[in-house]
Amino acid sequence: MANLKEVRARITSVSSTQQITKAMKMVSAAKLRRAQDNILRMRPYAQRLNAMLGNLMASADEDVLAEFGTVREVRRVLIVAVTSDRGLAGAFNSNVFKGVNALIRERYANLSAASISVMAIGKKAHEYYTKRGQAVGNYTHVFAQLSFDTVRVAAEAAMDAYRAGQYDEVVMVYNEFRNVATQIIRTEQLLPLLPAATPEAAVQTTNVDYIFEPSKDEIVRTLIPQSLKIQLYKAVLESNASEHGARMTAMDKATDNAGELLKSLKLTYNRTRQAAITTEILEIVGGAEALAAG
């Protein structure tokens, strides 16, 4: 039977852990509200921008689209993996790694490991892919000061590398936020950018009679880089909201599990204590009977 001192120590340890998980749940709940508001405001803007870009690209000159829309034979790929800076969020980060592995297995099975690079956004992805020698760049600071400007640096690096011919495709893998308990792994092609590669634009594209000032081609040249940056920023915001939702759910379950464990430990403690008391009583009674018999 367990030692009383050991059981008391475990009860104290589990109680402390329960307080920590409860506090982490409250912190994540507070951060989730702001992150959820941010992504809900961003989604309509990103969808409308893609729809407008889809309309313009359908009739734009080929030389305007050549910079970011030229389809090349895929020999080198850049995967943008968006994770969090911290753990304790359930399967949030591991799901991204699984998504990247599934993408490589299903879409780039013919490429060697040296032909696939990973732009890791978030410390967990950076650590994971650095160990495997696949990480390019260092974007572990993005979530520390999350803003469009910090994400824009990563987007511009991916765009410059694609323009220079270092990569033939750029694909994003991230967690899309649905609700507190549900995050879905999304895989989206960032480059090359084609009208068919933007689902929102394909659905909403209509024949709209725009008045262009300056020229249409000039507007398209400006909108394409902006749209690419917005797409990556949206993915990071989705991941940020998903992270807090996943951590809130994980800490809620951890708190409940700690509570169940405490009940079990207290029951064990009471049983052990009662058994010890009973043993002491039996020893006293036995000693008294021995003295009386003598």
Secondary structure in 3-state letters for 84-128 = CCCCCCCCHHHHHHHHHHHHHHHHCCCCCHHHEEEEEECHHHHHH
Residue 264 belongs to some domain of the structure:
no
Give the separation between CA 160 and CA 67, rounded to whole angstroms: 10
So what's the pLDDT on residue 209? 64
SS3 169: strand
So what's the pLDDT on residue 263? 93
CATH number of the domain that 96 lies in?
3.40.1380.10
User: Could you tell me if 255 and 19 are in contact, meaning their C-beta atoms sit under 8 angstroms apart?
Assistant: no
pTM, to two decimals: 0.83
User: Could you tell me if 192 and 122 are in contact, meaning their C-beta atoms sit under 8 angstroms apart?
Assistant: no
> If you search the block for the tokens 């909108």, which residue do you land on?
223
User: Could you tell me if 1 and 272 are in contact, meaning their C-beta atoms sit under 8 angstroms apart?
Assistant: yes
So what's the pLDDT on residue 203? 45
With the C-alpha atoms ordered 27, 176, 187, 198, is the resulting torsion angle positive or negative?
A: negative
Residue 161 belongs to some domain of the structure:
yes
Residue 152 belongs to some domain of the structure:
yes
Residue 4 belongs to some domain of the structure:
no
Structural domain total, the chain: 1
Domain containing residue 179: 19-24+60-252
Residue 181 token pair: 């308990």
Residue 164 belongs to some domain of the structure:
yes
By DSSP bridging, strand 116-121 and strand 169-179 are: unpaired
Cα three-residue angle 163-166-167, rounded to 5 degrees: 85
So what's the pLDDT on residue 205? 47
Which helix (H) or strand (E) covers residue 35, if one does? helix 4-57
Residue 289 belongs to some domain of the structure:
no
CA dihedral 270, 274, 280, 286 (to 10 degrees): -170
Residue 287 belongs to some domain of the structure:
no
Residue 50 belongs to some domain of the structure:
no
Q: What is the pLDDT along the chain (294 residues), one digit of tens a residue?
A: 468 888 889 999 999 999 999 999 999 999 999 999 999 999 999 988 888 787 777 766 777 677 888 888 999 999 999 999 998 898 999 999 999 999 999 999 999 989 999 999 999 999 999 999 999 988 988 998 899 999 999 999 999 999 999 999 999 999 999 988 889 999 999 999 765 444 444 444 455 566 777 777 787 888 889 989 999 999 999 999 999 999 999 999 999 999 999 999 999 888 888 888 888 888 888 877 777 776
User: Could you tell me if 244 and 26 are in contact, meaning their C-beta atoms sit under 8 angstroms apart?
Assistant: no
